A and B are shown apart, each in its own frame.
Chain A
């Protein structure tokens, strides 16, 4: 069982927007603005899409955005494209003892 809770799957049509939630606790997501999101296509390594809740690395489309409220972080993808179909994982800093926790992953299907 993963430390952070994500929906198993979400779906959307091309051009639409979707949001993936990531629920943690006051020991991780709720206490630090240190949530990151990763995109993983089948058979590939994860790719960093969002860090520190809402920052985008260079080269990542501005269709990807992140936010946080309380113990829940969210990833929003706007203007869905076929290439966005992938698994998405959230990750949070969890304090000096545990350090890193991941979510269980969400499979995004572009209909």
Chain B
């Protein structure tokens, strides 16, 4: 059974960079069969896809966040990471990592439990 677990600071100051890591267990991130995504959810609001990475390091980002987002992968640790720069209060949200099969429009079939990141001074 694949499990995903987010980790990282729960509090980030405005203008700084938010950094999170997703550790995958029960399966290899290098299997080549999946995309690995970040999705966020502000309190009381809907889901927003941030971006994804493939095991090769190839990435795709939400156009609305593309200028501030970097997603990377560390296959040796079975982890992938998110960096979001120049954060503001609007970036306060629960951040989820999720897996999707590597095909066009593949659904998010496994999710992490989510981690709350608050942007505040």
Chain A residues engaging chain B, CB cutoff 8 angstroms: 2, 32, 34, 36, 38, 44-48, 51-52, 57, 89, 91-93, 97-105
Number of A-B residue pairs, CB cutoff 8 Å, is: 57
Pairwise interchain contact A34-B48, C-beta atoms closer than 8 A: no
Pairwise interchain contact B49-A103, C-beta atoms closer than 8 A: no
Pairwise interchain contact A46-B108, C-beta atoms closer than 8 A: yes
**Chain B: interface size category:** 20 to 34
Q: What is the distance, in angstroms, from A92's C-beta to the closest C-beta of chain B? A: 8
Give 25 pairs: A residue, B residue, CB < 8 Å, sorted on A.
A32-B104, A34-B104, A46-B47, A46-B96, A46-B108, A46-B111, A52-B107, A89-B46, A92-B105, A93-B105, A97-B63, A98-B63, A99-B49, A99-B62, A100-B49, A101-B49, A102-B46, A102-B47, A102-B48, A102-B49, A103-B46, A104-B45, A105-B45, A105-B46, A105-B47
Pairwise interchain contact A99-B60, C-beta atoms closer than 8 A: yes
B52: chain A residues at CB < 8 Å are 99
